[in-house]
Structure formats: C-alpha cells, structure tokens
Amino acid sequence: MISFYKTMNNRLNQIDGFEPDCWINVVSPATEEINTLRDDYNIDNEFLSAAMDEEEASRIENGDEETLIIIDIPYWDNSTENHIYSTFPMSIIVKKDCIITVCLRDNIVIRDIASGMIKTLNTKHKTQFVLYTLFRMVVRYLQYLRQIDKRTSMLEQQLRKSMRNKELTQLMDLQKSLVYFQTSLKSNESTLEKIRRGRAIKLYEEDHDLLEDVIIEIKQALEMCNIYSSILSGTMDAFASVISNNLNIVMKQLTSITIIMAIPTMVFSFYGMNIGENSGSLPFGVTIWIPLFFSIIVSVVAGISFYKKDYF
C-alpha cells in the first residue's frame, strides 16, 4: 500500500498523489508497487532490495540521487499469550523532492506520524522528518521497555507461589525480547552517530538540538535495556531455584503424610485376622480396639513430631 502525505498550513494531510516535498509511505508493498517505486521515483534497485529485506541491519548509505537510512523499530505481538516483543527494519529513502518510508508491515511509529501526532513536522524539511521519525522510534522503545518491566514484576509475584514452568517460559520470552531490543538499539545508535557527523545527510542548525535529544533518548533506552536484561537474568536463575524448592517442600509434605498413613497399615498388617482366639502370641491381640488405639496414638505422635520439625 502506498500513501502520500504533505504538510500544508502547518498540518500533515493525506493527498491523492505525488507532489513535490511530500512523504510517500509504503507498507507491505506488492510487486507492482515496488516496480512503481523503481520506475516512477527512480529509486536504486539495491536500495529497494535492502528496504525489502526483513533481516537488514540498521545502517546508512548514500547513493547518486538519494540516501538510504535503515533503522530497527520495535514491534509488539499481542496476538499470543506471551506478548512477544521484537524488532524489524524500516527504510527511509531521502530524495531531493520527496522522502519515502518503506516497511514490510504496519507499525505504530508510522501510524503516530501519519496521525499528525508530531505537530511541528514538516515534510519539506527532510532531515527534520528523519529525526522526528527516529525520535518516535525511541519513544516506542522506552514504552515497550516499561511494559516489559511491569510484565516481569507481575510474573515475579506469580512465581513466588508457583511450581509450573509457564511463568518461567514467559520470562524467557521477555529476556529474548530484551536481547532483540539491545541489539537493535546498538545498531540504531551507530546509525545516529553517523548522522551526527553530518556526512550522510545535511544537518541544519535547528536540527542539532533535536539530534542530540534523540541520541540521549536512545542511550537511555539502551541503558534501561541492559539493566532490565541483567535483572531478568538474575531473576530467572533465582526463581528456577524457587520452583525447585517449592517442589521439594510439596514432596516433603506428601512424604510425611504417607508415613503417617502407613503406620495404621503396618499395625494392622501384623494383626490381620489374628484377633481374639486367633491372636496367638501377638501382644494386645485380645480385641481389635487396642491395636486401633495404638495405631492412632502412634500416628498422632508422628504427626506432632513432623509438625514441630516444620515438615508441614
């Protein structure tokens, strides 16, 4: 799908077709749309191939008439129970008369920009557009990192009384998400440093403050990611031991109950039918009530002893 946007009267508006200084948003393009981008807007084939590669790393590259910027943006898959967080690349192609974003799937960063959330955005100022896109990308990273932290705290509370692996598996998924975020943030930080040098795209005086804000935010996101990853790694190790300890406690309780219940069985297995006249030389075999009371007393004593030793 190809959409066209342009800033008019200080507002971002969707337009019907191409106009100079517009923004062309391409999401999940079909083959015909890729051909349109190549033929009508004269985009380099290598740039298009890189834009369509789902495994492409964050980088910046200059061509003859355009500049390609690839960044990794965060993605939250809430269709599954574990709420997986991941990243995927988005390409920004800067040309003299327009700016083009290409992404293989719809994402919240583009939706934020297209909805006019950035009031000062102007499609005519292409460097500023790139920096605002990067800023919204970092904001989403920070938001998802806070969600991961809250999700981790909730799972910790569930794991304190759990003996299942379900919560531990969810923590593993969150740790995997943090690894994805950490790798992508480092790549994006390198791309921002190249932009700051001013060789890849032209930086105007008013762009430097915005670029510094983006770099500060991405460093903060990377630091948060490192901290959460360390905490989560230690938490998983600790709660793996907690689950094992909880299981040992249950096994200890079940063993104690088994021993207590085995006492009457042992007593009556000795006597069986040897009660009364058939008691022979068995002690207290005159009546069934004496072995019964004896087994009850021994069971109670054993239960009290186990209770004092904190087996229950």
pLDDT over threshold 60, residue 242: yes
pLDDT over threshold 60, residue 286: no
> Taking residues 244-248, what's their average pLDDT?
74
Least confident of 80-84, 119-123, 166-170: 80-84
**Residues making up the chain, counted from first to last:** 312
pLDDT tens sequence across 61-77: 887 778 888 888 888 87
Q: Which amino acid is at 175?
A: Q
> Taking residues 248-277, what's their average pLDDT?
70
Q: At a CB cut-off of 8 Å and minimum separation 6, what does 164 contact? A: 243
What is the residue-wise DSSP string for 131-191? HHHHHHHHHHHHHHHHHHHHHHHHHHHHHTT---SHHHHHHHHHHHHHHHHHHHHHHHHHH
> Taking residues 38-54, what's their average pLDDT?
76
Quote the pLDDT of residue 287: 60
Quote the pLDDT of residue 276: 52
Quote the pLDDT of residue 166: 74
C-beta separation of 174 from 151 below 8 A: yes
Tell me how far CA of residue 20 lies from CA of 41, 126, 165, 229, in angstroms. Answer: 12, 12, 57, 45
pLDDT tens sequence across 165-219: 677 777 788 888 888 888 888 888 888 888 888 777 777 777 788 888 888 888 8
pLDDT tens sequence across 267-278: 666 665 555 555
Quote the pLDDT of residue 284: 57
Cross-strand partners of 69: 60, 92
Q: How far is it, in rounded angstroms, from Cα 185 to Cα 134? A: 11
Tokens of 17: 């077709």
Q: What's the whole-number average pLDDT of the chain?
A: 78
Model pTM? Answer: 0.73
Percent over 90 (pLDDT), the chain: 0
Fold of 2-245: Beta Polymerase; domain 2 (3.30.460)
Tell me how far CA of residue 205 lies from CA of 60, 160, 196, 202, 209, in angstroms. Answer: 21, 54, 12, 10, 8
> Taking residues 131-135, what's their average pLDDT?
87
